[in-house]
Amino acid sequence: MQRLIDAFYNSVRAFRKLAASEKAFQQELMLLVLALPLGWFVSTSWRGYALLIGAVLLLIMVEVLNTGIEAACDAFSREFNVDIQLAKDCGSLAVLISVVIVAGVWGIAIIERITGLPI
């Protein structure tokens, strides 16, 4: 049980640090704040709502992992290294893919809501 309590405190510490200093994380938190009520009006079911919010949470999770990769790389070396550049670029690509997923899920939900046809 102590391990779970420690993990929770570590997570809260990371959340606070990212919320205070990382612009991308702050923007994605604002997106979540907007998505929570907006998703209610866009979705046509509870499952749809869960999918819309889950997509945004996925984006936030990938951003957190990307930030962790960048922090680990910077702790190792701040000098240019082709392998470090690849690690950071891959993290950035993962965020981009997550953005595409969010846009696709929300786009389909909006089209479904406007047309009234299940897609």
The residues annotated with a catalytic role in the active site are 63
Residue 102 CB neighbour total at 10 angstroms? 21
Q: DSSP per residue over 58-117, as a string?
A: HHHHHHHHHHHHHHHHHHH-SS--HHHHHHHHHHHHHHHHHHHHHHHHHHHHHHHHHH--
89 is in an annotated binding site: yes
21 is in an annotated binding site: no
How would you label 59-93 residue by residue, b for 16+ Cβ within 10 Å and e otherwise? bbebbbebbebbeebeeeeeeeeeebeebeeebee
22 is in an annotated binding site: yes
Which of 67, 70, 84 is CA-nearest to residue 27?
67
88 is in an annotated binding site: yes
63 is in an annotated binding site: yes
112 is in an annotated binding site: no
83 is in an annotated binding site: no
2 is in an annotated binding site: no
Annotated binding residues for substrate, written as ranges, equal: 3, 24-28, 63, 92
| Binding region for ATP | 3, 22, 70, 88-89
Instruction: Output the known binding site.
Output: 3, 22, 24-28, 63, 70, 88-89, 92
Annotated binding-site residues for a divalent metal cation read 22, 70
